[in-house]
Amino acid sequence: MSATTALDEIKIGGLGASRRRVEDNRFIRGKGSYVDDIVLPGMLHMEILRSPFAHARIKSIDTSAAWKIPGVRLVLTGEMMASRNLAWMPTLSYDTQAVLATDKVRFQGQEVAAVIADDPYIARDGVEAIQVEYEPLPAIVNPYQAMADGAPIIRDDKLEQPDNVVFDWEIGDQAATERAFAEADLVSRLDLHYPRSHPSPIECCGSVADFNRATQKLTVYITSQAPHIVRAAVALVAELPEHMIRIISPDIGGGFGNKVPVYPGYVISILASILTERPVKWIEDKTGNLISTGFGRDIYLHGEVALRKDGKVLGVRMETLSDHGAFFSDAQPSKFKIGLMHSAFACYDIPAAHLAARGVYTNKAPGGVAYRCSFRVTEAMFFQERMMQAAADDLGIDQAEFRRINFVRDDDFPHRTPYGFLTDSGQYGKCLDIGLEAIGYADFARQKEEAAARGRLLGIGISAMTEPLGAGNSREYDILGIKMFDSAELRVHMTGKAILRTGAKTQGQGHETTWAQIVAHELGIPADDIVVEEGDTDTAPFGMGTYASRSTPVAGAAVAMVSRKIRAKARKLAAHLLEVSEEDVEWELGRFYVRAAPGQGVTIQECAMAAYANMPDGLEPGLEANAYYDPPNLTWPFGCYLCKVEIDPETGVWDVIQFVAVDDCGVRINPMIVEGQIMGGLTEAYAKANMQFITFDADGNCIGSNYMDYLLPTAWETPGFELYEVVTPCPHHPIGAKGVGECATVGGPAAFVNAVMDAVKGFGVRNIDMPLLPDRVYEAITTGRDISGAPPVKMD
């Protein structure tokens, strides 16, 4: 008998099935359970008093009026935190951060005191009753001020901090780069600013801390993308035994990097619960989130490209200056001070490159932390693609052709990137070709003329990028010394249903759907028979969490590996049931059969039952396994984004006429979810390019602390996106998948900006920094000058 009885993979919801998201069943019914949905008996509520000043010495704090309000149970200040050694906490980048200010406040919105009361309204009244006497100090609101002679030292709490420089870091081959520039026919130069931006999750940060004096157990419900890291941090900072700490990340209403760091509010609520012996809930409000939470970007670039006449890039120089706010709390691998900025130019074959990065403190909320970025890759790829476009224009060469000349060829993998990464696969030229065809590139000159006849400016922008996703491997990637790898645990019950747990933590990405698809692919158990759980440190195996689009590359690989362990054990059970030796057993999806007699077989479910009811002598009962996965390399997805815009030169308003995205994230587990990730990412990219900025006046007042000023795009203003796919399997990932969660936010912005710049380059303009607000575009067109830096502060 040769006919296979293997299951139809798509029907059981395996790899490649656009399976509906199982989590949406509860989300669209309003049945999700977020931190604010947690209500515990006797629970108290906490509110935080934030600093109105960006930089000020605290002269005194008088909490007496707050204590007198009926229903106020506890008022905490920095001094009280200090008495328990909790006024400061370590950050994920070997810096320290104030939990509640003691000496000074260093940014507007910094945490100064907390009130714990019977309900949130009383707590708020308590906050308003606290009297703080401040002595304002001059505020530093940009990195150039921070470096000026005689600038006030922001971090005078640190003994060995003579100035405001956080780090100076460099990578690349400086001598080789200098030689490349000496040989160049032309050097293209560009100065850019990637503005400060806010992740804007729908759910703000929050925690419910519950310390039980009797059991000595601390349970914390928390909005964290990395619950195990929080457990480790609490164990180390609060000196509580790790096995007595349970961190639960329930449903999270969007993370986008905002929920990687440990925030003061989490720590304060924990201490408050220990002191009051009652559960304490802290839910940040929108303004609190907008002014105090970890920001992305805020970085300046001076870039140079050494060019040969024929279009070959000989070398690249990058100098960056990043604004880290008052505390260096970025999450990134310990080795790399400016994240993975040095992944820039990875898709191009460039012989020499050098990057010099400086980071500084300013009187702003911690910046550069994370926002759909994979550790600063968003900035790296934006700089890369703006520099490539300017270089093509300076050379007078077609922008698509210029990229093609410099792309790493399909047969040139593994490829060493100019800053030393090893990329392993891709079809860059093919992606570009699909994009050019879809956007009608060949016909563009005619369209441009036709638009000019109507008084409109047409431009086309390209952004091509490869993204390093999936930190580790553990040799090179760690956070605070904890190596980066991930895990999965699979328990198959006797009836063949299963529960899968991982060390990742979904915040909207759909892990409950996609992980089950990997198990279905490996074991033939229908995805609907597998429940996925993440985020509870008492039940989930240890993992480093979800950020840097590392879940599919690392935890997802662990899911495949743990399934294979189960299959190996099931094979022994199958051999026993079929009464043949293991070597004579073959596998097809969902079923083992006898090689010599394919009609004789047992299903994976029959094997599961045997693991509990009919195991062979000497075989350990049960069907459960654990897998830790340490990836050999990052995964390197590729994206090519093309945008066509039309500008009204009389107003500077630009409209997206067409947007084409070609993504290669290797094998797609769930094509619908991948497309959702790309659409969402492009929407965020559009928002950055078109409308969003959060800025500060000279005194450090945050302009943009509400969603009237800081705009979130809705379906109304967001353009349509056309998506195309190319599949180059990842050579080292067990199912050939690469990460995708951040690709479109990373590669998207440069496509929009390059399109506008292409339309206005005839006016002598080389750059307009984001956001490309109509007045900035208009000014550039009418003056022929570049528009640099963050938008000016509004004055009323």
Contact residues for ligand MCN, defined by CB under 6 A: 254-257, 372, 507-511, 514, 546-552, 556, 665-670, 673-674, 677, 680, 737-742
- E strand or H helix at 92: none
Minimal distance in Å, beta carbon 23 to ligand MCN?
10
Minimal distance in Å, beta carbon 256 to ligand CUM?
6
Q: Which does 647 bind (CB under 5 to 8 A by kind): ligand CUM, ligand MCN, none?
A: none
Give the residue carrying structure tokens 């204590």.
67
Is the separation of the CB atoms in 399 and 409 below 8 Å? no
Distance, CA of 347 to CA of 316 (rounded, Å): 13
Which residue, among 440, 444, 504, 419, has the nearest Cα to 739 in the 3D structure? Answer: 504
The four Cα atoms 10, 13, 15, 17 give a dihedral, to 10 degrees, of: 60
Angle between helices 377-395 and 399-406 in degrees, nearest 10: 120
CA distances from 756 to 38, 160, 391, 407, 717 (A): 47, 46, 16, 24, 17
Binding part of the chain for ligand CUM, among 46-54, 340-348, 364-372, 508-516 by CB under 6 A, reads 364-372
Minimal distance in Å, beta carbon 294 to ligand CUM?
9
Which residue, among 243, 195, 189, 191, has the nearest Cα to 216 in the 3D structure? Answer: 243
Q: Give the nearer residue to ligand MCN in terms of CB position, either 556 or 639.
A: 556
Which residue's C-beta sits nearest to ligand CUM?
A: 257
Q: Which does 260 bind (CB under 5 to 8 A by kind): ligand MCN, ligand CUM, none?
A: ligand CUM
Q: Is the peptide bond before 771 cis (omega within 30 degrees of 0)?
A: yes
Annotated catalytic residue, options 111, 379, 467, 742: 742
Q: Which does 422 bind (CB under 5 to 8 A by kind): ligand MCN, ligand CUM, none?
A: none
- Interface size with ligand CUM, residues (CB under 6 A): 12
Q: Which does 313 bind (CB under 5 to 8 A by kind): ligand MCN, ligand CUM, none?
A: none
Minimal distance in Å, beta carbon 525 to ligand MCN?
17
Angle between helices 377-395 and 743-760 in degrees, nearest 10: 30
Q: Which does 509 bind (CB under 5 to 8 A by kind): ligand MCN, ligand CUM, none?
A: ligand MCN
Contact with ligand CUM (CB under 6 A) among 374, 423, 502, 551:
374
225 is catalytic: yes
Annotated catalytic residue, options 21, 50, 317, 372: 372
Distance, CA of 120 to CA of 45 (rounded, Å): 5
- The answer to whether residue 382 forms part of the interface with ligand CUM (CB under 6 A) is no
Q: Which two structure tokens, joined as six digits, stand for 743?
A: 């690709």
Write down the H helix ranges in 524-639.
557-578, 604-613
Contact with ligand CUM (CB under 6 A) among 370, 388, 647, 687:
370
Q: Give the nearer residue to ligand MCN in terms of CB position, either 109 or 510.
A: 510
Distance, CA of 354 to CA of 504 (rounded, Å): 34
Q: Which does 510 bind (CB under 5 to 8 A by kind): ligand CUM, ligand MCN, none?
A: ligand MCN
- The answer to whether residue 329 forms part of the interface with ligand CUM (CB under 6 A) is no
Q: Give the nearer residue to ligand CUM in terms of CB position, either 143 or 470.
A: 470
347 is catalytic: no
- In 507-590, which ranges are E strands? 530-534, 585-588
- The answer to whether residue 225 forms part of the interface with ligand CUM (CB under 6 A) is yes
* DSSP structure class, residue 348: B
Quote the radius of gyration of the chain (alpha carbons, Å): 28
* DSSP structure class, residue 541: P
The interface with ligand CUM within residues 260-299 (CB under 6 A) comprises 260
Would you call 626 helix, strand, or coil by DSSP? strand
Minimal distance in Å, beta carbon 511 to ligand MCN?
5
Which phi-psi region, left, alpha or beta, contains residue 556 (left: φ > 0; alpha: ψ -120 to 50)?
A: alpha
Annotated catalytic residue, options 204, 205, 347, 373: 373
What is the dihedral sign for C-alpha 518, 519, 522, 527?
negative
Q: Give the nearer residue to ligand CUM in terms of CB position, either 205 or 527.
A: 205
717 is catalytic: no
Instruction: Enumerate the β-bridge partners of residue 328.
Output: none
Q: Which two structure tokens, joined as six digits, stand for 437?
A: 């065809």
Q: Give the nearer residue to ligand CUM in terms of CB position, either 324 or 372.
A: 372
Q: Give the nearer residue to ligand MCN in terms of CB position, either 550 or 576.
A: 550
Is the separation of the CB atoms in 387 and 752 below 8 Å? no
Minimal distance in Å, beta carbon 47 to ligand MCN?
26
Minimal distance in Å, beta carbon 731 to ligand CUM?
24
CA neighbours closer than 13 Å in the CB half-sphere of residue 198: 29
CB atoms within 10 A of CB 409: 12
Minimal distance in Å, beta carbon 367 to ligand CUM?
13
Binding part of the chain for ligand CUM, among 171-179, 180-188, 256-264, 358-366 by CB under 6 A, reads 256-264
Minimal distance in Å, beta carbon 544 to ligand MCN?
11
Is the separation of the CB atoms in 13 and 524 below 8 Å? no
* Paired sense of beta strands 530-534 and 585-588, if any: unpaired
Q: Give the nearer residue to ligand CUM in terms of CB position, either 45 or 297.
A: 297
Q: Give the nearer residue to ligand MCN in terms of CB position, either 15 or 321.
A: 15
Distance, CA of 636 to CA of 740 (rounded, Å): 9
Q: Which two structure tokens, joined as six digits, stand for 110?
A: 């910094």
- The answer to whether residue 223 forms part of the interface with ligand CUM (CB under 6 A) is no
Binding part of the chain for ligand CUM, among 29-37, 286-294, 369-377, 434-442 by CB under 6 A, reads 369-377
Annotated catalytic residue, options 97, 110, 225, 677: 225
Minimal distance in Å, beta carbon 255 to ligand CUM?
6
Which residue, among 769, 645, 659, 674, has the nearest Cα to 382 in the 3D structure? Answer: 769
Q: Give the nearer residue to ligand CUM in terms of CB position, either 471 or 660.
A: 471
Binding part of the chain for ligand CUM, among 211-219, 356-364, 366-374, 639-647 by CB under 6 A, reads 366-374
The interface with ligand CUM within residues 547-586 (CB under 6 A) comprises 547-548
Q: Give the nearer residue to ligand MCN in terms of CB position, either 418 or 739.
A: 739
Q: Give the nearer residue to ligand CUM in terms of CB position, either 276 or 473.
A: 473
Minimal distance in Å, beta carbon 148 to ligand CUM?
30
- The answer to whether residue 257 forms part of the interface with ligand CUM (CB under 6 A) is yes
CB atoms within 10 A of CB 621: 10
Cβ-Cβ contacts under 8 Å for 548 (sequence gap 6 or more): 373, 374, 375, 469, 470, 471, 739, 742
Minimal distance in Å, beta carbon 325 to ligand MCN?
19
Minimal distance in Å, beta carbon 258 to ligand MCN?
8
Q: Give the nearer residue to ligand CUM in terms of CB position, either 104 or 511.
A: 511
Which phi-psi region, left, alpha or beta, contains residue 496 (left: φ > 0; alpha: ψ -120 to 50)?
A: left
Q: Which does 666 bind (CB under 5 to 8 A by kind): ligand MCN, ligand CUM, none?
A: ligand MCN
Which residue, among 470, 404, 443, has the nearest Cα to 633 in the 3D structure? Answer: 470
Binding part of the chain for ligand CUM, among 172-180, 254-262, 395-403, 612-620 by CB under 6 A, reads 254-262
373 is catalytic: yes
Q: Give the nearer residue to ligand CUM in terms of CB position, either 503 or 700.
A: 503
The interface with ligand CUM within residues 510-549 (CB under 6 A) comprises 547-548
Instruction: Enumerate the β-bridge partners of residue 462.
Output: 642
Cβ-Cβ contacts under 8 Å for 112 (sequence gap 6 or more): 48, 49, 50, 51, 58, 61, 77, 78, 100, 101, 105, 130, 132
- The answer to whether residue 232 forms part of the interface with ligand CUM (CB under 6 A) is no
Distance, CA of 234 to CA of 242 (rounded, Å): 8
**Which residues of the chain form contacts with ligand CUM (CB under 6 A)?**
225, 255-257, 260, 370-374, 547-548
Catalytic annotation, residues: 225, 372-373, 742
